[in-house]
Chains A and B, each alone.
Chain A
Amino acid sequence: MDADQGGLVIADLSVFGDALRFIQENPGLLWDKTVEQIQLSAAAVGVGLLIALPIGIGLGHLRRYSFVAISVANIGRALPTLAVIAVGIVFLPVGFTVVLIALVVLAVPPILTNAYVGVSEIDAETIEAARGMGMTERQILQRVELPLASPLLFAGIRTAVVFVVASATIAAIAGGGGLGDVIVNQASYGIEGVIGASILVCALAFACDGVVAIVQRLVTPKPLRGRHVDDATLVSEPL
């Protein structure tokens, strides 16, 4: 493997210092790029939620068509960001729209599958008890299923948010804008720009993950708080 010249490369950590200086010296540029990336990611997650939540919750409520939720999770995992963008570019001009569509495609699977699993795996007796109390289907959904499913639901949303922010970085090569623009453009910004933007992208990903976690805490009913639930598509579910 001729690309590997590991023995000759000497780690040059001073680059990280240069990168921090780059961040200090270019606050305007980096702020604009950060805002661009947040807008793009928020739009993608927003559209993804609009598509995935009704389908996932609906199918979960019916407790049917589990193969849909399962295949969506499997296919979603197999889709490399770069491949989705590549196919998108074949059919649409480079720019915001194609990147948004690609990101929505990537955001839907974790949200849909976790919503499905969250709602469908609620104890059937609980639902029966609610029905026995005279609740309508709508009330059951709102007062029983959604609150009980919310930990798993949010685990899916968190996965989607982290995934979309990461993918939006790569999407810069298709004209998506954002901090990825700086990372893929070493010719203009230098290695210190690439590293600086990478550091900011990490910070952005952690921040977005944190924001979803806080929202989750605020909307989770008190008795359910403190329970840690892992993304159903990642943990030992032989999906």
Chain B
Amino acid sequence: MTGILAASGPVIPDFGEASSCVQDNRLFCPDWVRDNWGPVLQPALLQHVKLVVIAVAIGFVLAFAAALVARRSTWFERPFDLFSALVYTIPSLALFQLLVPITGLTVTTVEVALVSYTLLILFRNILTGFRSVPADVLEAARGMGMGSFQVLRRVELPLALPAIMAGVRVATVSTIALATVAAFVIPEGLGRPIFLALRQFFNTELIVTAILAVALALVADGLLVLAQRALTPWTRIKAGS
């Protein structure tokens, strides 16, 4: 048994006007990419970005709230950490399928799964960030008359930011990778073209989509590094002097 796809031989898409490159299914056909960027690749890329942004944003809010609670009360840290580690262990394809009877073949199913996978990384990193703030710094801030919200906003958050951003980077990049699996459930994201191309063993589409997925992850990571630098100018000054 090799699955449904292996049973059929290569069937190359022929829309009547396919170039000889596409018809021969050569390794890479630039003309196909040019013709299908608008109708196929760009929409898939944008859907992918949307899936990831929503998942990381929701995951961040949940993990941040959980870390705020766990920062003070250790009884909360262990159970939440165990829970998110347990979810993290579930294979993505299985989690997507197990959610289908509950939330259907919908974007909700995909987002619930993607959000679940971000929790472990974000929670641990945000908490590590908060814990890295030295106790005497907190005491000094309180001694200056800051309230607990002020301490959080003006002292703890800036100091925890590098660890938090490291977590956001890891979560974003791994969610970009995971979101390709969403195509098993809904016809969206970069997994979709890979799926269609797998059905026909169409080389160009397989290669282009794989490159797009990896490139998206690297670009997102790069943008987050730039954002982190912009948000923490003092770390650069220290490094420069």
Query: What residues of B have a CB within 8 angstroms of the CB of A77 in the complex?
Result: 170, 173-174, 177, 217
Q: How far is the CA of A197 from the CA of B217 in the complex (A)?
A: 30
Q: How far is the CA of A162 from the CA of B184 in the complex (A)?
A: 20
A229 close to B (CB within 8 Å): no
| A6-B97 contact, Cβ under 8 Å, with A80-B178, A86-B197, A87-B206 | no
A86 near B218 with CB under 8 A, answer no
Q: How far is the CA of A184 from the CA of B3 in the complex (A)?
A: 8
B158 close to A (CB within 8 Å): no
Q: How far is the CA of A209 from the CA of B190 in the complex (A)?
A: 29
Q: Which parts of B76-109 form the interface with A (CB within 8 Å)? A: 86, 88-95, 97-98, 100-108
Chain B contact patch, size range: 35 or more
Q: How far is the CA of A37 from the CA of B121 in the complex (A)?
A: 27
* Interface 0/1 of A82-110, CB less than 8 Å to B: 11101101100011000000000000000
B61 close to A (CB within 8 Å): no
Q: How far is the CA of A235 from the CA of B169 in the complex (A)?
A: 11
| A9-B97 contact, Cβ under 8 Å, with A83-B213, A238-B162, A238-B166 | no
Return B3 CB to nearest CB of chain A, in Å.
5
Return B105 CB to nearest CB of chain A, in Å.
7
A123 close to B (CB within 8 Å): no
Q: Which of A44-52, A132-140, A144-152, A166-174 contacts B (4 or more CB under 8 A)?
A: A166-174
Q: How far is the CA of A111 from the CA of B162 in the complex (A)?
A: 25
B176 close to A (CB within 8 Å): yes
A9 near B213 with CB under 8 A, answer no
Partner of B108, one of A4, A81, A202: A4
How many A-B pairs with Cβ below 8 Å? Answer: 199
Q: How far is the CA of A79 from the CA of B218 in the complex (A)?
A: 10
Q: Which parts of B55-91 form the interface with A (CB within 8 Å)? A: 86, 88-91
Return A73 CB to nearest CB of chain B, in Å.
9
Q: Which parts of B99-149 form the interface with A (CB within 8 Å)? A: 100-108, 120-121, 124-125, 128-129
Partner of A94, one of B1, B2, B129: B2
A181 near B3 with CB under 8 A, answer yes
A5 near B170 with CB under 8 A, answer no
Q: Chain A: interface secondary structure?
A: helix
A183 near B104 with CB under 8 A, answer no
B186 near A3 with CB under 8 A, answer yes
Return B75 CB to nearest CB of chain A, in Å.
17
B170 near A81 with CB under 8 A, answer no
Q: How far is the CA of A77 from the CA of B170 in the complex (A)?
A: 8
Return B164 CB to nearest CB of chain A, in Å.
9
B102 near A181 with CB under 8 A, answer no
A89 near B201 with CB under 8 A, answer yes
A162 near B177 with CB under 8 A, answer no
B93 near A198 with CB under 8 A, answer yes
A199 near B194 with CB under 8 A, answer no
Q: Which parts of A109-131 form the interface with B (CB within 8 Å)? A: none
B214 near A78 with CB under 8 A, answer yes
B210 near A3 with CB under 8 A, answer no
Nearest to B215 among chain A residues (CB) is A78
Query: What residues of B have a CB within 8 angstroms of the CB of A195 in the complex?
Result: 97-98, 100-101
B166 near A236 with CB under 8 A, answer yes
A selection of 7 A-B contacts at a CB cut-off of 8 Å is A3-B105, A84-B210, A86-B197, A170-B91, A199-B94, A201-B94, A206-B89
- Residues of A participating in the B interface, judged by any CB pair closer than 8 Å: 1, 3-6, 9, 11-13, 15-16, 74, 77-84, 86-87, 89-90, 94-95, 162, 165-167, 169-170, 172-175, 177, 180-181, 183-185, 187-188, 191, 194-195, 197-199, 201-202, 205-206, 209, 230, 233-239
Starting from the known contacts A80-B210, A95-B6, A173-B3, 8 additional A-B residue pairs (CB-CB under 8 Å) come to A3-B106, A6-B106, A83-B180, A86-B194, A173-B198, A205-B94, A234-B120, A236-B125
- Residues of B participating in the A interface, judged by any CB pair closer than 8 Å: 1-6, 27, 86, 88-95, 97-98, 100-108, 120-121, 124-125, 128-129, 162-163, 165-167, 169-170, 173-174, 176-178, 180-181, 183-184, 186-188, 190-191, 194-195, 197-198, 201, 203, 206-207, 209-210, 213-214, 217-218, 221
